[in-house]
Structure 1
Amino acid sequence: MDDVSSFCDKYEIMIPNMDASYFPGRSKRRSLDINYSHNLRVDIFMLLLIYIFKSLRIISIFVSTDLLLGMASLNPVNSFENFAKNRIIRLVECYMNEFDSSKLWDLSCQLNSFIVYVRGSDKRFINLKGISDLAKLLVKSDLHQTLSLVYLLIKLTLILPVALCVCGTGFLFHEVHQK
């Protein structure tokens, strides 16, 4: 607490008395009979929770079953036991900016070659723990160039959870600052 106080003193930042009455906005006339401590601990916390829940509802709209099943189909665990080309193609349909109709056909062919290769031709693909390990091994074995569209899809799949979090956080930030 001493470090915070000295920092505030150094930069001339006012430290409110937490027991003092809190007045919302700039008006000193509108008293709610609450103090700064209550405002920080309850009101702001509750607002933050409300906005987080709103953002999670919006994120859930974007995360459909098709996306999740498509991502799971690329999981290398148990020799790609969840691999389902039709689910992967449904996932790709979410990325139409990256995959036009000709690339979609090429990806379909690459997926056929990919699954045959990783299930039998190269023993390094047997004990992978997740999609990130798969991406690393594709680069290490130079298959990321041969199977460039499969590799692109794997990269997009790895980015998707982060992108959803960033979108949710951006929404939350926007909503908090609009109030």
Structure 2
Amino acid sequence: MIKRPGNTRWGSHYITLVRCISMFSSICEVLGIIIDDGSNSEQKYEAKVLMNSIQSFDFVFHVHLMKTILRITNDLSQVLRRKDQDIVNAMNLVKICKVRLQSVRESGWQSLLDEVSSFCNKHGTLMLKMDDAFLIRGRQRRNSQEVTNIYHYRVEIFYAIIDMQLQELNNRFTEKSTELLLCVACLNPSNSFTAFDRQKLICIAQFYPRDFSTTKLLILEDQLQNYIIDVCSDNMFIGLTGIGDLSQKMVITAKDKVYPLVYRLLTLALILPVTTPTVERTFSAMSIIKTQLRNRMEDQWMND
């Protein structure tokens, strides 16, 4: 069975693509049955349109390209969605994704084309001649320079999409934001506060000059030394697994009043992940607006 992709769960999209490729023959068979024995003409027509689309080289190429990219970023996607995020490993995965995407960009074209070609031969899909002129739905481009198929699929799609992914990772995980997240990981109370690093926590505070003046930074350094000795010797703080649990326990034990600057660091760290669910909720709301009927409208209309 093909898994229904979630609105914002990219991992589910990857699984859907894998299953779509592995069950391609069965999908075509089912569509063929609908075309012949559909309950009404509209259903038969939609099945025929879909059949023509998925049996095209363009569809096969895009599915394999998406699978290639999502299988690289899938582990990162899964880690970033976890409630108990392992920030250190997540940042390592960001670096790995960047390296692998760059590697695919530099030397992955031929292997992708070979994979697409093998799939087309297996399922009877017409393989385009890469040196022929690229046609848009059977017509040549209007008011634009004529390009070959290999230029279109390699430069305008393959390179362009991978560059977009790399740019997105670079924009969301800049050097400063990565450093900030790695410093935040030092607040993690798991394994008896083994991740604690006083200097890195001071670095976090320096990212927030409005909250931590020069004087408060000096006081924070002293508070951190007392704080780590205190929580490590307090049985109430044994077995904590995340920053959220730690902040709750500090309030329960009134240590947020004893170490107010340390607690402020915790609250600032807890605010950081808020942007992720905010974006996810935005896309979830779009699924309500963009119904199947409205999806047929122009993208610009929806954007307006």
TM-score w.r.t. length of structure 1: 0.60
Indicate if the aligned counterparts of 1:55 and 1:168 stay in contact, CA closer than 8 A.
no
- Relative contact order higher in (CA < 8 Å, ≥ 6 apart): 1
SS at match of 1:95: coil
Correspondent of 2:259 among 117, 131, 147:
147
Correspondent of 1:134 among 224, 246, 257:
246
Residue 73 (structure 2) pairs with residue 73 (structure 1): no
CA distance in 1, matches of 2:248, 2:202: 22
The alpha-carbon deviation at position 167 of structure 1 amounts to 8.0
Q: How many residues align?
A: 132
- In structure 2, the CA distance between the partners of 1:103 and 1:163, relative to structure 1 (3 Å rule), is farther
- In structure 2, the CA distance between the partners of 1:91 and 1:169, relative to structure 1 (3 Å rule), is farther
CA distance in 1, matches of 2:220, 2:276: 24
Q: RMSD value over aligned CA atoms?
A: 3.5
CA distance in 1, matches of 2:265, 2:245: 14
The alpha-carbon deviation at position 145 of structure 1 amounts to 1.1
Structure 1 letter corresponding to 2:219: D
Which consecutive residues of structure 2, in runs of 5 or more, have no partner in the other structure?
A: 1-45, 50-135, 138-162, 283-299
CA distance in 2, matches of 1:146, 1:85: 18
Residue 202 (structure 2) pairs with residue 93 (structure 1): no
TM-score w.r.t. length of structure 2: 0.37
CA distance in 2, matches of 1:54, 1:166: 21
Aligned-pair identity in percent equals 32
In the alignment, which residue of structure 2 is the partner of 1:63?
177
What is the correspondence of 1:99-114 to structure 2 with a 5 Å cutoff? 99-114=212-227
Which consecutive residues of structure 1, in runs of 5 or more, have no partner in the other structure?
A: 1-17, 20-31, 34-49, 171-175
Residue 250 (structure 2) pairs with residue 125 (structure 1): no
- In structure 2, the CA distance between the partners of 1:52 and 1:161, relative to structure 1 (3 Å rule), is farther
CA distance in 1, matches of 2:243, 2:185: 9
Residue 244 (structure 2) pairs with residue 162 (structure 1): no
Structure 1 letter corresponding to 2:177: V
